[in-house]
Structure 1
């Protein structure tokens, strides 16, 4: 009886610690302000194990009294899609302790999609968008919104 109780307690502690460690590995799964603080992006891990991000808030959500839409999307069929709820970050893979790479980021301001990588820095993310080689691109710093 005593051995069973001790064994159960020990297994429970291991499960709690393992769950905590697994959550710590996904440190970017939070809500972030973009650099200009005009939108909030919720970053989440999908079933495929990759990270995605969708716009969940806009400082100015309306245009001419209606919800803003993806007006600059190169696909005309998607130009009526609301910006709030739009997935702009796709397919990031964890690449080390604080690095995430091989993703794509969509900029609804110009309708272009870029390759991207992220460096996690605690309360900030350095997001590098680029075409081709990451040396040719731009870094934007997102700030924790939670």
Structure 2
């Protein structure tokens, strides 16, 4: 299982009914669609022992309805609740299960925001950093 798959499975713990289908690396054109997209940056600290500490970034993109003000307010509430949930999971040590690695931290690095608005829906984004250690 990839790191991306692990994060997707973990995110479903927030709201499995709303986040039941999260695509990998590509957002569908359908309204109420989600995708987790790996960012092209990776920080790797290598040690003489062969141990590596890796930090990767993923953007959760969501295409959600945004025609009315009340819908946009509800969507903002969803984003804030998701941010709070991620921070709470980090503080309690409830991390994604990454194969052959020990997760040390997960955090929101870019809060939930409206990235692009269209006539009836908008693209929202949130960036997550995951830091994990791999032994040789």
Normalising by structure 2, we get a TM-score of 0.30
Q: Which has the higher helix share?
A: 2
Q: Relative contact order, CA 8 A, sep 6+: which one is greater? A: 2
